[in-house]
Amino acid sequence: MATRVYECLKAIGDKIIANKDFLTDLDREIGDADHGVNMARGFQAVIEKVPEDEADIGAALKKTGMTLLSTVGGASGPLYGTAYMEVAKIFAGKDTVNAEDFKLALEAAIAGIQKRGKAEKGEKTMLDALMPAHDAFSEQLASGADLVTALDAACVAANEGVEFTKTIAATKGRASYLGERSIGHQDPGATSATMTLEVIRDFLKG
């Protein structure tokens, strides 16, 4: 019988795979036209390689990160792989998720992406979705909200971040070659990161 963590990872993978063409089309406008294809390939491998009976959330996420590192091409592999492996440290040895751990996990993912990608908010990357999501999540948590309510706010903020990426020029990655011409296009990495948060929220709502 599949564990909850495996079912959640599969749900994330299914969402990415279902949106492969959409993500690739976004990347075609400002990048190498491979974000959706690469991410779909990576998560197909995750679905196949992560043991269905793994109950340790940290172990499952570490395996996910290692798989993405080895199977996803371009910048997305190192960035997503690093994010999952950093999050894995927060959940090491745990079989349940609480709101405080999720906040720490978001912080760990953001720090890993920043370190690996040498990026900051406002450069048209996935950080433009994840950093506002973290801030909204933290604010809700501080006001006494539960995990799902805080995730709802995080997803709203992440989607606003995706919209924000349309208004700015890229200064990182392949999209930076376009300069001002990248304005008007949403960032595919911010989009896939937001999809991930939405799947986790919906999964926890159950």
pLDDT, tens digit (0-9, with 9 covering 90-100), for 32-63: 778 999 999 999 999 999 999 999 999 999 99
- The residue with tokens 């963590």 is 5
Domain spans, the chain: 4-205
More confident: 170 or 110 = 110
Return phi, psi of residue 98, to 5°: -120, 170
Measured CA to CA, the distance from residue 138 to residue 132 in angstroms comes to 10
* Mean of the per-residue pLDDT values of the chain: 92
Exposure of 96 by Cβ count < 10 A (0-12 exposed, 13-18 middle, 19+ buried)? exposed
Owner of token pair 């999964």: 203
Burial class (CB in 10 A: 0-12, 13-18, 19+), 180: exposed
pLDDT digits (tens, 9 = 90+) for 133-174: 999 999 999 999 999 999 999 999 999 999 999 998 776 565
Handedness of CA 36, 37, 39, 41 (dihedral sign): positive
Comparison of pLDDT for 78 and 176, the residue scoring more:
78
Among 5, 26, 50, residue whose Cα is nearest residue 170: 26
The confidence score (pLDDT) of residue 2 equals 87
Residue range 163-188: mean pLDDT, rounded: 72
CATH of domain 4-205: 1.25.40.340
End-to-end CA distance of the chain: 17
Question: Which residue has tokens 């969402």?
Answer: 15
How far apart, in Å, are the Cα atoms of 199 and each of 13, 129, 175? 10, 15, 27
Residue closest to 137 by CA, chosen among 181, 101, 162, 180: 101
**Residue 177: per-residue pLDDT:** 45
Alpha-helical runs (H) found in the chain: 4-18, 20-30, 35-49, 57-71, 76-90, 99-117, 127-142, 147-165, 188-205
**Look-up of token digits 């995730």:** 151
Q: What is the pTM of this model?
A: 0.94
Kindly report, residue by residue over 69-80, the tens digit of the pLDDT. Answer: 999 977 889 999
The predicted pLDDT at position 34 comes to 87
Q: How far is CA 206 from the centre of its chain?
A: 20
What percentage of the chain carries pLDDT values higher than 70?
Answer: 93
